[in-house]
Amino acid sequence: MSGTSMDGISAALVSFEDACPRLHTSLSLPYPESLREELIELVSPDWCGSLSELLSLDHAIGQVFADVAHQLLAESHIPGSDITAIGSHGQTVWHQPDGSAPNTLQIGDPNIIAEATSLTIVADFRRRDMAAGGQGAPLAPAFHAEIFRGEEDCAVLNLGGIANLTILPLDPALPVTGFDSGPANLLMDAWTRRYLQKSYDKNGEWARSGSVLSSLLDSMLADPFFASPPPKSTGREYFNLVWLSRFLPDNPVGSEDIQSTLAELTARSISDALLNAARQTRTLYVCGGGIHNQYVIERLANLLPGIKVCSTADKGIDPDYMEAMAFAWLARKTLDGEAGNLPTVTGASSARVLGAIYHS
């Protein structure tokens, strides 16, 4: 899969023994720079491209996904004949769950992947949930519940481009809930590209060098999204540099101070959401690329006293491949004819079998 950060593709070779996932081989490859630039341009609010360009990207992403699958199998030394299916999330380029015509679009043509690999592909996971009245996201909470629920009140935080939380009560009578809390890496990465010409702020060092602008932070946190109740999900079409520009002060400020404030926005919106939804949480397990932003993790720990903030690695799940493993699990559910969504998370009218199957 590739998330809203659009930094590349994560692939995981997973088997399920007694329903427990085992990660055999994993691989992360960046998008070719020219392709990433096209994707980022495509999802910018002022994109004025053509349908032809969109479909060309759909084809190109499908081919890159197929190439990654080939490389993963080559490195694993496991023959394709041992593979049941590929679960392909695709690359989200639009997500609009509210309004009169809710819709979401993930590109990376599954037909291309099926032809290139001669394997069965399961894809298009989000739209069935959305058709049933749900947000179509987040979908990983069902997998998080399978792995993490049972020992204590805990939560799982995925720090991708967008942050999403899964709330896992210890009491089995209480439902699993989850939602997008707001931006994680998305705004920080975009600001870093603009001012440092780098794809991300390594370890949060640039953010750490600045000072939080309290008035800017308060203005951003006043955005209605943060106070809106779940179910809710979001993406680049809402949180982007155009959104940020509405809040920037007229007087000159240091770009590092903006970065520090964006990091604080990520940490504050997450901590506020968690404390509001599940103050009884004892442990917060973190996964996704943002786990490597040491500054944001430190800020989360400071804002969540009494809650242990740790990596999903503490439970044996590689934080960089949690989401890829989740879509392997969802693909398995689809092939078995089992529902993959949680209506208490997405708001769908009921549980649904997700995705479409493209046979080898």
What is the per-residue pLDDT across 145-203, written as a single tens digit (0 to 9) for each?
999 999 899 999 999 999 999 999 999 999 999 999 999 999 999 999 999 999 999 99
Paired tokens of 298: 């430190």
For helices 322-335 and 141-148, give the axis angle rounded to 10 degrees: 100
Is the pLDDT reported for residue 325 higher than 80?
yes
How far apart CA 86 and CA 349 sit, in angstroms, is 28
Is the pLDDT reported for residue 19 higher than 80?
no
What is the per-residue pLDDT across 33-44, written as a single tens digit (0 to 9) for each?
999 999 999 998
How far apart CA 184 and CA 231 sit, in angstroms, is 18
Q: Enumerate domains of the chain plus CATH numbers.
A: 8-134+323-358 (3.30.420.40), 141-315 (3.30.420.40)
> What pLDDT score was predicted for residue 20?
81
Count of all residues that appear for the chain in the document: 360
Going by pLDDT thresholds of 50, 70 and 90, the confidence category of residue 7 is: confident
> What pLDDT score was predicted for residue 17?
86
> What pLDDT score was predicted for residue 18?
77
Handedness of CA 329, 332, 338, 339 (dihedral sign): positive
> What pLDDT score was predicted for residue 233?
97
> What pLDDT score was predicted for residue 103?
96
Percent of the chain with pLDDT over 90: 96
Handedness of CA 29, 15, 109, 339 (dihedral sign): negative
What letter would DSSP give residue 289? Answer: G
pLDDT average, residue stretch 272-296: 97
3-class DSSP string for 169-229: CCCCCCCCEEEEEEECCHHHHHHHHHHHCCCCCHHHHHHHHCCCCHHHHHHHHCCHHHHCC
Q: What is the pTM of this model?
A: 0.96
> What pLDDT score was predicted for residue 74?
97
Beta bridge partners of 22: 15
Phi, psi of 96 (to 5 degrees): -135, 85
Percent of the chain with pLDDT over 70: 100
Asked whether 62 and 111 are in contact (CB, 8 A), the reply is: yes
Asked whether 226 and 217 are in contact (CB, 8 A), the reply is: no
Going by pLDDT thresholds of 50, 70 and 90, the confidence category of residue 69 is: very high
Report the candidate in 90, 58, 22 with the shortest Cα–Cα distance to residue 355. 90
Collapsed DSSP state (helix, strand, coil) of residue 83: coil
Average pLDDT, the chain: 96
Give the list of residues 6+ apart from residue 170 with CB closer than 8 angstroms, or none: 150, 151, 152, 153, 154
Phi, psi of 155 (to 5 degrees): -145, 155
> What pLDDT score was predicted for residue 166?
98
Give the list of residues 6+ apart from residue 40 with CB closer than 8 angstroms, or none: 6
> What pLDDT score was predicted for residue 99?
87
Tell me how far apart the terminal alpha carbons of the chain are, to the nearest angstrom.
19
User: Is-cis flag, bond preceding 169, omega within 30?
Assistant: no
Asked whether 168 and 277 are in contact (CB, 8 A), the reply is: no
> What pLDDT score was predicted for residue 354?
98
What is the per-residue pLDDT across 136-161, written as a single tens digit (0 to 9) for each?
999 999 999 999 999 899 999 999 99
What letter would DSSP give residue 75? Answer: H
